[in-house]
Amino acid sequence: MLIKMAWRNLWRRKRRTLISSLTVAIGLWVAISMLGISDYSFVNMVNTSASMGFGHVTVEPTGYMNNPGFNKRIKAGRDVTVRILAEPGVTAAVPKIIGPGMIGTASKTVGGVIMGVDPARERPKDNVFFRAIVEGRVFSQPGANEVVIGRRMAERLNLKIGKKLVYTVTDINGDIVSDMARVCAIFKTGDDSVDGGTILLPINKLRATLHFGPEDATLVSVLLADQREAEATSKNLRVKIGAPGVDVRWWSETQPEIAGAITMDRAFHQLYQSVVWLLVATGILDTMLMSVLERKREMGLMMAVGGSPTSLFLLVLTESLLTALTGLVIAILINSPWYFFMTHHGIDLTSMVPEGYGVSGVVVDPVIKMTLFKESVVRILVTFLSLAIIAGLYPAYKASRVPPVESMKAI
């Protein structure tokens, strides 16, 4: 009977209930959109960063990340990658050689990052440079004498497809060695520092130049289906394949600038969300308080005929919750097409964002989309329903304190 009464009371003033439910729904829409967009941009940033070379989890020689160079290496044979791939959630485990070097032509030389990758094991979706190729094609074999360079570097060194460049590195013995490769593809990520300072070589070719063994690599880049599992996976892998001289780290440790930027951004989002929640709670509180004051006489009657203060308290609290739930239903109706649009198409802000805008060398996607994780939805629902209850507490308390005689004098 309590729920029946609460529901009917809600619709005694249809317009007011609809307006306050709509306010709740708009608040929810804003909260969901903010959270969904921020989740999408964080995931996108982390995944882009992972596909730039280090993965969501990196297996590397101890001390490599503090001073990445070709003087540190690990054995990354098939047995190692098979054991990594056996870990749940791992979608790829790819050995790589990454270190600093000089890249030059007859007329000019620049410093940059030299990356040895295995074209047979790198899926374009896991490698941002392969995805960003705008001219040419990826080298055909792990031992080919070919190189993929960035658009900016091609401009700076005046290189074109088919032209040769010379790269110089310090090999395993500490000797400076050089080799030549022919440009087979040019990529453009949009970030000038990346496009002007990165080249990709076939891994076996680089191994030969560096005098590495056939299974040697400076790291194994581990990619996951869900980046949120990175920390747990890194812990599991540490147990499974950890050995003296081998470290396993997750992206927050290998990319602290990105982790910091995400933490900061999340904190701001939470602040904005708190304001939205406050407005939603105020809306519910206002409606419920008004409703209690209007029905004082009726509540006095209920007390007079034996209703307990607790039953009145619960009645008003239920009304508050039902107002919120009505808002939730409206929010679902509003959000469903919006969510579909934002996950499939998104809003393209290319004209408003400078080209190549990025954080710590990771290009930020100018198309805003949404991703909602199950835990985010649960968090929104728990926060929302808790607020609805909290907002209803004061009006419910007022209702439970209605003095029967004074209230009924209004008859």
Q: Does residue 14 belong to the site contacting other proteins (CB under 8 A)?
A: no
Whether 313 contacts 400, CB under 8 Å: yes
Q: Does residue 12 belong to the site contacting other proteins (CB under 8 A)?
A: yes
- In the bound complex, what is the minimum distance in angstroms from residue 11's beta carbon to other proteins? 9
Give the contacts of 76 (CB within 8 A, at least 6 positions apart).
59, 95, 215, 216, 217, 219, 220
Q: Which is nearer to other proteins, 325 or 408 (CB)?
A: 408
Rounded to 5°, the CA angle 243-249-250 comes to 150
Cα 95 to Cα 219: distance, rounded to the nearest angstrom: 6
**Footprint of other proteins on 279-298 (CB under 8 A):** 298
Applying CB under 8 A, among 239, 267, 271, 305 the residue interacting with other proteins is: 305
Contacts of 383-388 with CB under 8 Å at 24 or more apart are 383/277, 384/28, 384/31, 384/277, 384/280, 384/324, 384/328, 385/321, 385/324, 387/277, 387/280, 387/281, 387/284, 387/324, 388/24, 388/281, 388/284, 388/320, 388/321, 388/323, 388/324, 388/325
Cα 231 to Cα 88: distance, rounded to the nearest angstrom: 13
Applying CB under 8 A, among 71, 145, 282, 311 the residue interacting with other proteins is: 311
Applying CB under 8 A, among 275, 278, 304, 367 the residue interacting with other proteins is: 304
Q: Which is nearer to other proteins, 4 or 344 (CB)?
A: 4
Q: Which is nearer to other proteins, 12 or 123 (CB)?
A: 12
**Which listed range, 8-16, 97-105, 194-202, 347-355, lies at the site for other proteins (CB under 8 A)?**
8-16
**Footprint of other proteins on 55-114 (CB under 8 A):** none
Q: Which is nearer to other proteins, 46 or 399 (CB)?
A: 399
Rounded to 5°, the CA angle 68-72-74 comes to 120
Q: Show the tokens assigned to 108.
A: 């000019």
Q: Does residue 3 belong to the site contacting other proteins (CB under 8 A)?
A: no
**Footprint of other proteins on 391-410 (CB under 8 A):** 404-405, 408
Q: Report the half-sphere exposure of 103 (CA within 13 A, side-chain side).
A: 30
Q: Does residue 5 belong to the site contacting other proteins (CB under 8 A)?
A: yes
Please give the distance of CA 169 from its chain centroid, rounded to a whole number: 35
Applying CB under 8 A, among 3, 8, 158, 378 the residue interacting with other proteins is: 8
Question: Looking at this protein, which amino acid is placed at residue 55?
Answer: G
- In the bound complex, what is the minimum distance in angstroms from residue 32's beta carbon to other proteins? 33
Whether 68 contacts 99, CB under 8 Å: yes
Q: Which is nearer to other proteins, 228 or 297 (CB)?
A: 297
Q: Does residue 315 belong to the site contacting other proteins (CB under 8 A)?
A: no
Cα 317 to Cα 388: distance, rounded to the nearest angstrom: 9
- In the bound complex, what is the minimum distance in angstroms from residue 393's beta carbon to other proteins? 19
Q: Does residue 15 belong to the site contacting other proteins (CB under 8 A)?
A: no
Q: Does residue 314 belong to the site contacting other proteins (CB under 8 A)?
A: no
**385 to 111, 171, 280, 304, 331: CA distances (angstroms):** 56, 61, 11, 32, 13
Q: Does residue 1 belong to the site contacting other proteins (CB under 8 A)?
A: yes
**Which listed range, 1-9, 55-63, 322-330, 347-355, lies at the site for other proteins (CB under 8 A)?**
1-9
Applying CB under 8 A, among 84, 138, 302, 330 the residue interacting with other proteins is: 302
> Residue 192 burial (CB < 10 Å; 0-12/13-18/19+)?
middle
Q: Does residue 136 belong to the site contacting other proteins (CB under 8 A)?
A: no
Q: Does residue 253 belong to the site contacting other proteins (CB under 8 A)?
A: no
* Total chain residues near other proteins (CB under 8 A): 22
Q: Does residue 307 belong to the site contacting other proteins (CB under 8 A)?
A: yes
Q: Does residue 161 belong to the site contacting other proteins (CB under 8 A)?
A: no
Give the contacts of 83 (CB within 8 A, at least 6 positions apart).
240, 241
Q: Which is nearer to other proteins, 142 or 307 (CB)?
A: 307
Q: What are phi and psi of 122, to 5 degrees?
A: -90, 115
Residues that bind other proteins (CB under 8 A): 1, 4-5, 8-9, 12, 298, 301-311, 404-405, 408, 411
